[in-house]
Structure 1
């Protein structure tokens, strides 16, 4: 059996799609030919012949290709495999690489590589390898977005490199790959920064809000399923259509989010639901001068707890992805919760919620995602007087009418999340039709764009008794409350037992790390230090064997707490310097974790009525 046949057999067993792609005609223009004189592949396109690699100095070529790629890169997208020499360069210069993503628009290139190289041996040095073979730009962008932008992704430092021939011939393709890498970076940066900054705040809000937990939004499905809904946001264009909303209350569920809550109130319009998810004190002002008793509030567990406590109307809980502790407890309590995708904005969250509740049509209103006449909100918003503080006209673009407008990276992030949610739900045959009825905002790809009057005439033709249905559903679900509260109590008690064990293990680790660090600094013997490292590793293993630590605590600190095992590399050069540096990091990690666990214990005791804490959020 030839080497090519052997390799293809291995690939076919792992992925028949990849095997077929290798032997299929390329989706991109041009042909790959072999130049025997120079022992190199050429791309023949538009009457030109472009060598895939330099025929003079490969090392210099690689240095130029990777000039802007730092050695800390953890995910690398390479556009073009050529003869595979690039793999040896990557292996040598990027030891931290976690994921290698190879985009090769010509299966012929990979086929020739497989005829001369052992497939398994070539890619064994890399922890994870993904191949995109013969993909069009559109398909490659979608696939890379799925791989790079996920709500539970760990930190990756992304870079893109390309064969110079492919950059010349397929410039737009290359730029598309770069765009996807930048999207992933934007997602990670915002999510990670938010998580680190608000970890303690969210914990306090959750335990205080847990007292309010009665009804989950999933239990309201009967009100939403098969019905149209309008998400009302506070963009400047809202004023164009706000007069229609009172009439439309019989034809669509009105969902007010963020600052639109105070705008609707100032116009005498009470929506069917209000939605609040933000955890900072400033958001309490959304409900200033708002009659909260008239309308149910859908809230996340991390929302600012005094705002939830003071709300007079019915309160409906909503679980969000990334809310590890709430989701863990509700699962253990066997509450049938709907888990909604987190997003840049409350409108992002509301759209995914309505998709999962099976609304027939979702209509966006006031979702400008840009500044109009220097304003970010319609008149009547609680924070309208602070527009000068928040407006950040850093990006010039055009709106859906082709007019020049200004936006910022946060708005662009919101737009991106809308598009991502749309793409995810497109696979569901029962997904709602989503229409952007915002007049003048940015175009959101994947949505229909119509005026609200057009939407009413085409989609809002049936009337409903929404207020009666909502009140009846809430009354029914409150009858089940005693059983649900008992189930929740059992889940909290079980978590508390695991928490006490974790605190003991973490305190032990703190002592062992300190002792081992002292040995390293004092130039102690290798055996003693290895023994100390082994004790630390075993304690981490005990912690990791606990369900609560695995599912809540470790993911919460995943980017901060990373234990490195030294025993296998103990003879490496400068291992003592590395051990000292990392042990100092570990001691800081352990102390930080200890503070977090102590706070968690105190808040749990307060929830159980065992103590009162004097903690306020400013």
Structure 2
């Protein structure tokens, strides 16, 4: 690697890669590459997150800093180790950092910095010639960002669409928790017993035929079904050991309504469909993913990792039970045979599936291209991540008996060949009830209503104080002001309400209502440009108007949530 001067006077590196030499940027018109970067950041918001692929000599940094505000954050991924080593000890700026590009760690790094607050406010730019010279690395970076984007946006969309059912489900399911067994009761009770995770992908039709032919070995395994595959297994003479239901929609109840009297344990969590949880006659096992964060009595009860689909929860449960190997059945994550689901596990709700969305291609278990959707691809990435984590935690093998997308960490093996393995010699244990959860339903409901009532009142106080600030006749700056100024005290008062509300653990009770409010209000009231940040954040009148809208929306959200809570509680009175 050598440093040169471009024709227009900028320093740049020339590197050798794969026996070829490349300039990392334009050696004639370097200024053009800097302009491309700066132009790409046009419209930069005060909280935008910037990812740059390639540092080169860092000639663009000085100009980059002039368009940032203190709330912006920049990460520069540098694929050239020599360049990284020259700069890793250099503090570029408090909000600018350089990271060595590493394919093995890129997903973890991105997951730690991209979240629901900034996923739709990202700027991504490959500097100079980096995207051509390091084509594979850059494509992997974009693929990882896209996957994370779809995962986060999918979760937010779900929270928006299901916010009412989430809240109704959690309120009604509170009544059932005391009658359920906690997840903690079953840690490693089926150590080294093989587990079948039965999903509803197109491969299930063939997989289930192999299961029927080897029913004796299936009975020696721990079989985990979802709502969608439960009835199919029962109809084919296969009795699962556990049903997992995490979807909030009423379709989950419809899929199982003909088999509600089965004695197979049902695994559910706070947001699982309330009609199914209430009416299912078998024993129930509770996953504490929400209430354990809020209710003191629930702190000791565990939850399970979730990755977007019920199969992820099934996988997590099999791992908690200590099962080994864990065998994936009907886990296609693609349109195998050009079908979205198994024929045996297709329901009327599937008539709304838009098959045109299957416009991506991945490799199947045989190395051929197969159609999939962005959502299914996100599920695949998430499943591969979880499999890697479980393998790191203990010595467990994953096998994919499906015929869809290749799943890293779970090599494909024909199910008929799996049944020939000498792995079916352990004694399987049933999940016996252990109803030890002591939860006072009325106490929890009172605390939820009390929390909502307190902040309805505080939102009204905020509206009153913000109305005064937004109608100020004089321009007041928050930078140079007497701390005893009455309007400054008003501003501190409203900030305290905001901080207390947003940091309260009880906000988890509001579920999707809180998530939607937080996501929307920051884009509706606080969407200022980076160049205006210092001016507007110091303007008391502007801040008063912004927070006035915040409290109005907060008030509307809390009143709507309270009506739903009261409606559900009234059903038990």
CA distance in 1, matches of 2:537, 2:349: 61
Once the two structures are superposed, the pairs formed by residues 129-140 of structure 1 within 5 Å of their partners are 129-133=96-100, 135-136=101-102, 138-140=103-105
Shift of 1:570: 8.3
SS of structure 2 residue aligned to 1:294: coil
SS of residue matched to 2:427: coil
Kindly tell me: are residues 298 and 153 of structure 1, through their superposed partners in 2, closer, same or farther at Cα, counting changes over 3 Å?
farther
CA contact (8 A) 1:400 1:443 kept: yes
Alignment RMSD? 3.6
1:154 and 1:161, CA in 2 relative to 1: closer, same or farther beyond 3 A?
A: closer
The answer on whether the counterparts of 1:560 and 1:589 sit within 8 Å (CA) in structure 2 is: no
Q: Cα deviation per residue 1:87-126 (whole Å; 9 max; x = unaligned)?
A: 2233233448643222223344355558xxx934x313x2
Alignment of 1:369-380 (within 5 A): 369-380=333-344
Decide whether the 8 Å contact of 2:50 with 2:123 is kept in 1. Answer: yes
Worse-matched range after superposition: 67-76 or 345-354:
67-76
101-110 or 442-451, larger mean C-alpha shift: 101-110
- TM-score, normalised by the number of residues in structure 1: 0.78
Match of 2:479 in 1: none
TM-score (norm 2): 0.83
Return 140-149 or 178-187, whichever deviates more.
140-149
1:151-198 deviation digits (Å, cap 9, x = unpaired): x87645333322323333221112111112212211121111212222
Aligned with 2:208 (options 242, 254, 266): 242
2:492 aligned to which of 523, 534, 550: 534
Q: Structure 1 residue aligned with 2:14, among 27, 42, 53? A: 42
Q: Tell me the secondary structure at the aligned position of residue 439 of structure 2.
A: helix
- Relative distance call for 1:543 and 1:399 in structure 2 (3 A) is closer
Q: Is it true that 1:88 corresponds to 2:62 in the alignment?
A: yes
CA contact (8 A) 1:499 1:601 kept: no
Q: Across the two proteins, how many residue pairs are aligned to each other?
A: 547
Aligned to 2:171: 207
CA displacement at 1:276 relative to structure 2: 0.8
The 1-side partners of 2:354 and 2:129 are apart by 45
Pick from 272, 278, 281 the counterpart of residue 241 of structure 2. Answer: 272
Residues 196-235 of structure 1 deviation map (CA, whole Å, 9 limit, x = unaligned): 2222220110010111112122212354333221111111
1:119 corresponding residue in structure 2: 90
Any unmatched runs of 5+ in structure 2? 477-484
Considering Cα pairs closer than 8 Å and 6+ residues apart, tell me whether 1 or 2 has the greater RCO: 2
| Separation in structure 1 between the aligned mates of residue 145 and residue 243 of structure 2, nearest angstrom | 35
For the residues of structure 2 that align with 1:236 and 1:550, how far apart are their CA atoms? Answer: 37
Q: Which residue of 1 aligns with 2:480?
A: none
Task: Provide the rounded CA distance (Å) in 2 between the counterparts of 1:106 and 1:385.
Answer: 50
| Counterparts of 1:565 and 1:67, CA distance in 2 | 20
Q: 1:22 corresponds to which residue?
A: none
Any conservation in 1 of the 2:84–2:98 contact (CA below 8 Å)? no
What pairs up with 1:218-297 in 2 under 5 angstroms? 218-243=184-209, 244-245=211-212, 246-297=215-266
Distance 1:388 1:540 in 2: 41
Q: 2:34 matched to which residue of 1?
A: 62
5+ residue gaps, structure 1: 1-31
Match of 2:144 in 1: 180
Q: What residue in structure 2 maps to residue 74 of structure 1? A: 48
In structure 2, which of residues 47, 54, 77 is the aligned counterpart of residue 103 of structure 1?
A: 77
Cα distance in 2 for residues equivalent to 1:61 and 1:434: 47
CA deviation after TM superposition for structure 1 residue 353, in Å: 2.5
Contact 2:463 2:552 survives alignment (8 Å): no
CA distance in 2, matches of 1:184, 1:308: 31
Q: Is the 8 A contact 2:173 2:270 kept in 1?
A: yes
Decide whether the 8 Å contact of 2:15 with 2:22 is kept in 1: yes
Q: How does 1:294-305 map to 2 (within 5 A)?
A: 294-305=263-274
